[in-house]
């Protein structure tokens, strides 16, 4: 197993190029199942989660040629519609194959993803919506068995909660359904917008793209022909590098970024005293010596993303004053708190609210990564902690950050990947 060894206290400078968005690429890869023609995806992030989903496609019989940031996928040869536990248990987002497999083949089996470190994460809303589209669903032996032998029917879906994955699954299912589907209370994340654009490029009529009400005209099980697609920049990776600059009081440039997608993070960092120069696809952040504390509540896009909560908390640890951070999306997304406290942070947790008292300094220690974004928060804290911090269990980081240590090293951080002795 690998760990990261970081010597804190280095200022960062220079520029970092943002990779493609993992959370945009995953539904797009799943959506390729709606087609029986080859498609090329570019600007994929080179991360484990992408390789996991591509492996699932090959296990279903698809043909995949993957080369770091590009994948050629041909799903004309699918022979199985079973997404096995071995893959789904590695990555919950594998549930995204449920909608497209069911819509194209009329039946599928997908392992139940189960809970994960950040919370229970049920898929009840995905299943209920598919049932309203005529699917017959049974849970047996840890698998979701879904059947719609005559195809799915368009329906009016009202999500009780805004769900990113649920909206994506239903969008994909609706694209091949018979008739019109309306999704009310849909998620509006940029990743959803790109999925809609991909479906539109294949001739699917969708209205309301980027709003909370989507209307999709299905093709009645006619497979789609997609145009090749370049994945949008990763807004969470971009936000993480902005936080790296903020916590180290540095100025850095971000290249290949979409500033409009990270408005909520920019706003918080501006409030804390950072300044920005923003162009169409690049931006510069200048961070002051003294950061101000901040209050934030995570919410759905375009609000402050839960996937940036841990990183912003790491930055707030080094401010002069008290910050309040409220997590509204996931019940257990504060596991970085005790690890940040091991580095000398002063964070008090009550329910879904963290009160952060700024400290003068953090001190290097051994800490353990618990989930993807929590891991990046520990790396950020380590960049300013005095002495050496070892961040263990970084396989979480490898799931979602493309070459994190290489990019931080190029910005001037002292960071090394090492192997655990045992
Ligand atoms: C996606 C992102 C994840 C991000 C999250 C929220 C991907 C691959 N992952 O996850 O990084 O943190 O959005 O922005 O894009 N819920 C239910 N029932 C359901 C579905 C969801 O109760 O059937 C709840 C969840 O437990 C959670 C909330 O709804 O409390 C939002 O979850 P959701 O938007 O579905 O998250 P994911 O799509 O899993």
Give 197-254 pLDDT, tens digit per residue: 999 999 999 999 999 999 999 999 999 999 999 999 999 999 999 999 999 999 999 9
404 lines ligand 1 (CB under 6 A): no
**Residue of the CA atom closest to atom 39 of ligand 1:** 165
307 CB within 6 A, ligand 1: yes
Mean pLDDT of the chain: 96
Checking if the pLDDT of 260 tops 70, the result is yes
DSSP-derived letter for residue 34 is G
Rounded distance from Cα 188 to ligand 1 centre (Å):
13
Q: Is 69 in the pocket of ligand 1 (CB under 6 A)?
A: no
The residue contributing the CA closest to ligand 1 atom 26 is: 121
**Which position among 116, 196, 243, 274 bears the catalytic label?**
116
What is the DSSP code string of 222-277? Answer: PPB-PPPEEPPB-HHHHHHHHHHHHHTT-EEEEES--GGGGHHHHHHHHHTT-EEE
Residue 406 pLDDT grade (very low, low, confident, very high; cuts 50, 70, 90) = very high
Residue 306 alpha carbon, nearest atom of ligand 1: 12
Atom number in ligand 1 closest to CA 330:
30
DSSP element (H, E) containing 103? helix 98-105
377 contact partners, CB below 8 Å, separation of at least 6: 310, 311, 313, 314, 336, 340
Structure confidence by residue, pLDDT tens digits, 265-307? 999 999 999 999 999 999 999 999 999 999 999 999 999 999 9
Q: Give Cβ neighbours of residue 417 (< 8 Å, ≥ 6 apart).
A: 2, 3, 4, 5, 394, 405
**pLDDT recorded at residue 55:** 97
Q: At residue 388, does pLDDT exceed 80?
A: yes
Closest CA to 96 of 136, 138, 56, 135: 56
Which among 94, 123, 131, 164 is the best mutation to test ligand 1's pocket, defined by most ligand atoms within 8 Å of the CB?
A: 164
- Does residue 329's CB lie within 6 angstroms of at least one atom of ligand 1? yes
Residues in CB range of 414: below 8 A, 6 or more apart: 6, 7, 8, 10
For 393-408, b/e burial (b = at least 16 CB within 10 A) is: bbebbbbbbbbbbebb
For ligand 1, pick from 114, 165, 311 the residue to mutate: most ligand atoms within 8 Å of CB.
165
Per-residue tokens: 277: 């120069």
Q: Would you say the CB of residue 123 lies under 6 angstroms from ligand 1? A: yes
- CA trace torsion 271, 251, 379, 365 (10° rounding): -100
Contacts with 338 (C-beta within 8 Å, 6 or more apart), sequence order = none
End-to-end CA distance of the chain: 8
Whole-number Cα distances in Å, 336 to 244, 371, 380: 16, 9, 12
CA-proximal residue: ligand 1, atom 20 (nearest): 123
Catalytic residue status for 116: yes
* Burial of residue 200, with CB atoms counted within 10 A of its CB: 0-12 exposed, 13-18 middle, 19 or more buried: middle
291 lines ligand 1 (CB under 6 A): no
State the distance from the centre of ligand 1 to the C-alpha of 123, rounded, in angstroms: 9
Give the Å distance between the CA of 121 and the centre of ligand 1: 7
Kindly provide the residue ranges of all beta strands, DSSP E only, lying in 35-192, ordered along the sequence: 39-42, 63-67, 70-74, 82-83, 107-111, 136-140, 143-147, 156-158, 180-184
Q: Is the pLDDT reported for residue 169 higher than 80?
A: yes
Is residue 96 within 6 Å of ligand 1 at its C-beta? no
Residue 148: per-residue pLDDT: 97
**Ligand 1 pocket residue status of 330, Cβ below 6 Å:** yes
Question: Ligand 1, atom 8: nearest CA belongs to which residue?
Answer: 23
What is the number of the ligand 1 atom nearest to the C-alpha of 168?
Answer: 38
Question: What is the reported pLDDT for 422?
Answer: 73
Mean pLDDT within 80-96: 94
Report how far apart, in Å, the C-alpha atoms of 113 and of each of 96, 122, 187, 282 are: 11, 8, 21, 37
Burial of 221 (0-12, 13-18, 19+ CB in 10 A): middle
Q: For 10-44, what is each residue's pLDDT tens digit? A: 999 999 999 999 999 999 999 999 999 999 999 99
């Amino acid at each position: 197993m690998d760990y990261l060894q970081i010597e804190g206290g280095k200022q960062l400078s220079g520029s970092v190029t943002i990779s493609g968005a993992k959370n945009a690429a995953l539904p797009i890869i799943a959506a390729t199942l709606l087609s029986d023609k080859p498609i090329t995806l570019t600007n994929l992030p080179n991360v484990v989660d992408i390789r996991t989903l591509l492996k699932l496609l090959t296990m279903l019989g698809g043909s995949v040629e993957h080369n770091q940031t590009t994948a050629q996928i041909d799903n004309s040869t699918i022979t199985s519609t079973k997404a096995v536990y071995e893959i789904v248990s590695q990555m919950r987002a594998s549930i995204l194959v449920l909608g497209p497999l069911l819509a194209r083949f009329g039946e599928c089996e997908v392992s139940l993803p189960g809970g994960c470190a950040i919370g229970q994460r049920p898929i009840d809303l995905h299943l209920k919506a598919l049932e309203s589209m005529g699917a017959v669903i049974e849970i047996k032996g840890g698998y979701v068995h879904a059947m719609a032998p005559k195809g799915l029917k368009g329906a009016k879906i009202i999500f009780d909660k805004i769900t990113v994955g649920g909206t994506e699954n239903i969008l994909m299912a609706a694209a091949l359904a018979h008739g019109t589907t309306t999704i009310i209370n849909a998620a509006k994340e940029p990743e959803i917008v790109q999925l809609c654009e991909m479906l539109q490029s294949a001739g699917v009529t969708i209205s309301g793209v980027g709003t909370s009400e989507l209307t999709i005209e299905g093709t009645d099980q006619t497979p789609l022909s997609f145009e090749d697609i370049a994945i949008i920049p990763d807004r969470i990776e971009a936000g993480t590098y902005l936080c790296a600059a903020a916590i180290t009081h540095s100025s850095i440039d971000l290249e290949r970024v979409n500033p409009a997608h990270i408005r909520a993070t920019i706003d918080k960092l501006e409030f804390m005293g950072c300044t920005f120069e923003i162009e169409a696809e690049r931006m510069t952040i200048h961070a002051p010596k003294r950061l101000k504390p901040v209050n934030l509540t995570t919410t759905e896009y375009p609000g402050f993303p839960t996937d940036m909560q841990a990183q912003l908390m790491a930055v707030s640890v080094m401010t002069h004053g008290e910050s309040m951070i409220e997590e509204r999306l996931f019940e257990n997304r504060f596991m970085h708190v005790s690890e940040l406290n091991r580095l000398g942070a002063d964070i008090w947790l009550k329910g879904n609210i963290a009160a952060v008292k700024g400290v003068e300094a953090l001190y290097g220690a051994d800490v353990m990564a618990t989930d993807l974004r929590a891991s990046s928060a520990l790396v950020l804290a380590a960049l300013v902690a005095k002495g050496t911090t070892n961040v263990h269990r970084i396989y979480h980081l490898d799931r979602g950050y493309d070459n994190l240590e290489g990019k931080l090293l190029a910005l001037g951080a002292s960071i090394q990947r090492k192997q655990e002795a045992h």
